[in-house]
Amino acid sequence: MTIAADRDARRESLLVAADLVVQRDGASASMAAIAAEAGITKPILYRHFGDKSGLYAALAERHTDRLLDALVDALTAGGTSRERVHRTIDTYLSVIEAEPQVYRFLVESEEAAPAKGPVRGFLRRLQELLAAGISHELRLEPEDERAGIWAAAILGMVQAAGERWLEVRDCSRDTLGSQLTDLLWGAYGLASAAAHE
């Protein structure tokens, strides 16, 4: 029964084509353009993915799985707590540096998405994963609210700083990672205390 395998292979090739178009045209790639790139027509896309958000969701999974794996590896490898955090941040930065278009597609698509953003699930997963990591790292009680809050906060912090860095590139990747780690370890409070005597 190669029929299912054929379907999967076809689906794969469609996703590869969609990837090409998204990286070329940005997040506003049209379904017709993707179909043309794949050498087929629109209804085939719709038969495979339902609608545009379905395609985007499938496209997102291709990348998020890799990214999540890489982050988990960085977070669970050895070293002090601070080293692990720094390494994880650097992993994230290296990914968005290597594939900025993919990153932009993942975090800032939404655009014409219907109702619930499909890609949003990625940030959710990442956030929950990070919350679990923090909870374990800090040996927090499961009901401690700080894990969730800090997971969202740290995620937003790294993401915003990474986005700005992609645009202005005013320091090396390693410097940025160090500054962010410092910030988490209270550098702002320290600098503030030092400035006021």
Partner DNA sequence: ACGCGACTGTTACCGGCGGTAACAGAGGAG
Partner DNA sequence: CTCCTCTGTTACCGCCGGTAACAGTCGCGT
Reading the block at residue 171, the tokens are: 């320091």
Specify the 3-state DSSP secondary structure of 189: helix
Cβ-contact 166, 96 below 8 angstroms: yes
Binding of a second copy by 138 (CB under 8 A)? yes
Tell how far CA 13 is from the center of its chain: 23
* Residue closer to DNA (CB basis): 46 or 185: 46
Pair 29, 90: CB distance under 8 Å: no
To the nearest 10°, report the CA torsion of 175, 180, 185, 187: 70
Shortest distance in whole angstroms from residue 111 CB to a second copy: 5
Distance CA 159, CA 126 (A): 12
Provide the token pair at 56.
């985007």
Binding to a second copy by residue 150, rule CB under 8 A? yes
- Smallest gap from Cβ 121 to a second copy, in A, equals 14
Q: Print the binding letters for residues 48-87 with a second copy: x by CB under 8 A, - otherwise.
A: ---------------------------------xx-----
DSSP designation for 111:
T
Among 8, 9, 12, 42, binds DNA (CB under 7 A): 42
Residue 110 Cβ, how far from DNA at the closest point, in Å?
13
Binding site for a second copy (CB under 8 A): 81-82, 108, 110-112, 127, 134, 137-140, 145-146, 148-150, 152-161, 163-165, 168, 170-171, 175-176, 179-180, 183-196
Binding site for DNA (CB under 7 A): 3, 6-7, 10, 29-33, 40-44, 46-47, 51-53, 112, 114
